[in-house]
Amino acid sequence: MVNDPKARDLTLNYAGGSLTMSRGALESLFGEDATVLTPVPDTKQVAVKSHSRVRVIGEPASNVTGFSYELTQWPTSQANNAAAGEVVLLTWDGSEGSWTGRVTGSMSALGIWLVATSTKAVVFRTESGTKYGPFQKSA
C-alpha cells in the first residue's frame, strides 16, 4: 500500500484552538511553502522564586535560592481518545468543493486566525449548519 503524504492529517495550532485537516487541503488553502505549515517553537523564560523546602516532615526547612531557566515550547492542542473538536466544512476560492476539518476552540478564534493567515476567502459551516465567513487576510 502506498502512503500519500498529502492525505495525512496535520494539526495547525493557533491562539484559542487548532485546525486538523489533510496536508493536501491545507497546502491548497495556504500554499505549499506557507510558513503556517511549518510551526516554530517559542522560547520561554521561567523564573522560580526563592522558597523554603522540607524534605522530611518534622525536620527543619532549608532555603532554596531563586533561579531561572529557559525552555522550548512547541504549539499544543487538546487531545481526546475520540476525535477531539467539532467537524466543520471549509470552502475557499479555487477549491473543488468543501473540505472536512476538525476544530478545537471557538469558531470565532478560527475566524480570527483565518483573517490573519489566509490569502484566500474562506467560508466554513459547522455540523449544526451555522455558516461563518468569508474570512480573508486584507491586502
Q: 41 preceded by cis ω (within 30°)?
A: no
**Does residue 89 register a pLDDT over 90?**
yes
Q: Is 86 in the same domain as 32?
A: yes
Q: Residue 66: which domain range?
A: 42-73
φ and ψ of 75, to 5 deg: -60, 140
Lowest mean pLDDT among 3-12, 77-86, 94-103, 105-114: 77-86
pLDDT on residue 46: 93
Bridge partner list, 53: 62
pLDDT on residue 6: 85
Q: Is 127 in the same domain as 95?
A: yes
Q: Is 88 in the same domain as 105?
A: yes
14, 109 contact by CB (below 8 A):
yes
Lowest mean pLDDT among 21-25, 27-31, 78-82: 78-82
Q: Between the ranges 11-15, 47-51, 134-138, where is the mean pLDDT highest?
A: 47-51
Q: Is 52 in the same domain as 112?
A: no
Enter the DSSP assignment of 73.
E
Q: Is 116 in the same domain as 52?
A: no
User: How many domains, in total, are found in the chain?
Assistant: 2
